[in-house]
Structure 1
Amino acid sequence: MSFAQPLYLYLGAVLLPGMILFMVEVRRRRRHLSKRLGDPAFVQQLSGSRNPVAGFWRSVMWLLACAAVLLALARPRWGEDSRSTTQRGAQIIIGLDVSPSMLAADEAPTRLDRAKTAIREMIARSPGDQFGLVIFSGASFTLVPLTSDRDVLFTAVEQAGVDSISRRGTVLADAIYTAARGFNDEFPGQKAIVLFSDGEDTETKPLSAARYAAGRDILIYTVGLGSPQGAPIPLYDAKGNLTGFKEDAQGNVIHSAVNEALLRAIAEAGGGAYRHASGAAR
């Protein structure tokens, strides 16, 4: 048995003997005063309402009660084994593409919605891991730092959208660099970046970013969204009404297709693997 607050035991070791001595002294003075007042039997008759035996046991019970209170304050503990444990879960930072092409409907209901469903499922299946969330389009930033709070993560995933970043485009390399900076280097567990994207990047050099992450012992996994045939990119007004589809300079409707070759190359450079959101590796 051990005590969480042993100071109260030391306090009791000082106070209780003092209280006992005080009570003994009070009883001694009462007897002495009784002798001074006259015949002890006569004094006892005058104070017949006071029972000395009952008074003694009241004092004993009062002392026991004080001892019990001090013992409770010391917080005794039985059978406890204090151990420091090291968390064994992984650090996983999710990169979510929120560029306009993610609104294409070749994944039901859209690529972005399909990605969000896959992310929620991944988080739910990994209760011992920490997750962070980076969103990217024509720029990237950390929406949620590494956390174990699932409610915060689910809320952030739900609220992430095309309007979260005003700059258009897809900067996969920037997303990788942003995610790589979000890890705790003192944490002993595995570190991984999981990118959810259709892979349409013509602005940056994601392979160089993937090799940079791999050099810091960070694995990169990629998840492809969209079909090889592609789908048009819808345009909406401020009220969310469909107004048409994105066109090129000649007025032709642009079809956005998943770039599996690039996503697979990023995963290979980052020491991870590529999978399509449908669940089948291609």
Structure 2
Amino acid sequence: MSDLAFVLEAFRFLRPLWLLLIPLVLLLWWSVRRADRRKPMLAEAIAPHLREALTVGRRGRRRLAPVDSVALMLVLAAIGAAGPTWSRQPDPFAAQSAPAVVVLEVTDSMEASDVAPTRLERGKQKIRDFLDLRAGARTALVAYAGTAHAVLPMTEDPQVMVPYLEGLSPQVMPREGARAAEALQLAQSLLASEASTGGILFVSDGIDAADVAALNASPQPVAVLAMLPEGTRDRGIDSLSVPVVTVTADAGDVRQLDALLNAAYRRARLEESEQPWDDRAHWLAWPAALILLLWFRRGWTMRWAVLAALALLPGAEGARAEGIADWFLTPDQQGRLAYEKRDYERAAELFTDPLWRGYALYKDGQYKAAIEVLDRVETAQAAMVQGIAQIKSQSYRDGVRAFETALARDPDYPGAAENLATAKRIVSYIETLQEGSDTGEDTGIGADEEVYDNESGSGEETERPATAGAAMLTADQWMTTVDSRTDEFLRLRFALEASQPAPPQEGTEP
């Protein structure tokens, strides 16, 4: 579904009674226009050529009059007061893109160089572009050849996926082949644990005909990025009924795929009655302001209309005179604009709502400030973000307490129980290291080393040399960090997984 079609489907008014003013405005406009029409002078009273020369204003009757701009401005104000909207306000604690599983074909055919530099390398580049476009949405990575493997489970940190993505090559895959149906089944299992509707993106240069039916019948949205040069066809890809996008030199293919996978997610978001609608009334303030410029012309002095328009303009009561944007947008609306541009520092300065301000500080990496601001909000959402901020600032036990608070406020809050369990595993892991560490009087801690909290007093403070510029890992990835090369690690892991016996199918004896 295109963006325009989606907007038209979701469009509605929050305060439709204000639209009743439009017929009244049009009636007043028609009355003024009708009264402006002058009766023609009697032909017998004066000669026709003299009458034409002495008549003033006849040629200008059809021109734009002050009442026309007044009527248009009042109509815009009435529509704005009615509250047009076509989307709900974004949840600051939920990703704005659908969860997705990227499935990459890693076969010998993907090393063909007809798509520079190779089909596989270009596919990896497109996946990185896809991750950047989704701005922190939950994404997993699956690789397949003769077997399918979950390279990385769902994560919100795209930087974590990059080294694993770079380590993929046909040499790390344990078996030759191209079992797309097996990869689809694995991707579906990863999406099954997600709370919202997700999608699956295949990056492939061909689909086996035996796997076409499985992809066409998938209950989750599936899209395919065909890594084929222009003019090259594949029988399996041509037989698919799911959307197929051919790789392009620019980012147009990635944007199209993201829109396709997000369509079902955005529709599901519209049905979330807990999230308020996003009032777009302020959009109509700009054309109304442009019409006001006509009032600098001589003769356009219907001042009562200006007062009426200002009374109807949405958000006028909250405007401040600190800048032009303050005439039309509240501080929180300006903060939203900065937030959507990913200027989180500016957004934190603009937001007055503590929930949004705290989340903007968190996104900007100001974890301690975010925790302090969110103390003002006694909701499960606020406690959830506090917990994540505590984890990222390495205050793991405080993170445990924050997740426990979130569950106390809302036992069913999505992800709170899982994050609490992960935080407890981290604390237990650290305490185990501390209990097994050597204690000594002469052990020093350098200025460039990180020390994890040792609230329990178990063993020596656990040290880990800090790595300048290293990306922050999520909890599960921090616990499973490996020191070996990524490609070698993946090769060994995939070989081990391929050697395991397949789980018994339903209805059969193990």
1:115-174 Cα deviation digits (max 9, x unpaired): 001100010011141110000111111111111121211111111111121211111111
Counterpart amino acid of 1:209? A
Shift of 1:264: 4.6
**Counterpart for residue 127 of structure 1:** 135
**Pick from 227, 230, 234: which aligns with 2:229?**
227
Q: How does 1:169-208 map to 2 (within 5 A)?
A: 169-188=177-196, 190-201=197-208, 205-208=210-213
Instruction: Flag the 1:228–1:201 CA change in 2: closer, same or farther, 3 A.
Output: farther
Shift of 1:208: 2.6
**Counterpart for residue 209 of structure 1:** 214
- TM normalised by structure 1 equals 0.52
Q: How does 1:87-106 map to 2 (within 5 A)?
A: 87-106=95-114
Distance, in Å, in 1 between the alignment partners of 2:139 and 2:181 is 20
1:75-125 Cα deviation digits (max 9, x unpaired): xxxxxxxx9954443111001010100011101011000100110001001
Counterpart amino acid of 1:224? A
Instruction: Flag the 1:93–1:105 CA change in 2: closer, same or farther, 3 A.
Output: same
Distance, in Å, in 1 between the alignment partners of 2:149 and 2:195 is 22
CA contact (8 A) 2:207 2:237 kept: no
Q: How does 1:15-164 map to 2 (within 5 A)?
A: 85-164=93-172
How many residues get paired? 161
Q: Which runs of 5+ in 1 are unaligned?
A: 1-82, 230-256
**Counterpart for residue 235 of structure 1:** none
Shift of 1:209: 1.6
Distance, in Å, in 2 between the alignment partners of 1:133 and 1:186 is 15
Cα-Cα RMSD: 2.4
CA contact (8 A) 2:106 2:169 kept: yes
Classify the secondary structure of the residue corresponding to 2:122. helix
Shift of 1:200: 4.8
Q: Which runs of 5+ in 2 are unaligned?
A: 1-90, 254-510
**Greater CA radius of gyration, 1 or 2?**
1
CA contact (8 A) 2:106 2:120 kept: yes
Shift of 1:258: 4.9
1:241-263 Cα deviation digits (max 9, x unpaired): xxxxxxxxxxxxxxxx651x522
Asked whether 1:275 is paired with 2:245, we answer: yes
- TM normalised by structure 2 equals 0.30
Distance, in Å, in 2 between the alignment partners of 1:84 and 1:154 is 25
Instruction: Flag the 1:228–1:187 CA change in 2: closer, same or farther, 3 A.
Output: same
Q: Which has the higher contact order (CA 8 A, sep 6+)?
A: 1
Instruction: Flag the 1:199–1:87 CA change in 2: closer, same or farther, 3 A.
Output: same
CA contact (8 A) 1:200 1:258 kept: no
Distance, in Å, in 2 between the alignment partners of 1:258 and 1:139 is 24
CA contact (8 A) 2:204 2:227 kept: yes
Shift of 1:181: 1.0
Instruction: Flag the 1:192–1:84 CA change in 2: closer, same or farther, 3 A.
Output: closer
Q: How does 1:252-267 map to 2 (within 5 A)?
A: 258-259=233-234, 261-266=235-240
Classify the secondary structure of the residue corresponding to 1:138. coil
Counterpart amino acid of 2:245? R
Which structure carries more helix by proportion?
Answer: 2
Classify the secondary structure of the residue corresponding to 1:213. coil
| Percent of pairs with identical residues | 23
CA contact (8 A) 1:90 1:128 kept: no
Shift of 1:207: 2.5
Instruction: Flag the 1:185–1:200 CA change in 2: closer, same or farther, 3 A.
Output: closer
Instruction: Flag the 1:258–1:105 CA change in 2: closer, same or farther, 3 A.
Output: farther
**Counterpart for residue 5 of structure 1:** none
Which structure carries more strand by proportion?
Answer: 1
Distance, in Å, in 1 between the alignment partners of 2:92 and 2:225 is 37
Shift of 1:228: 6.4
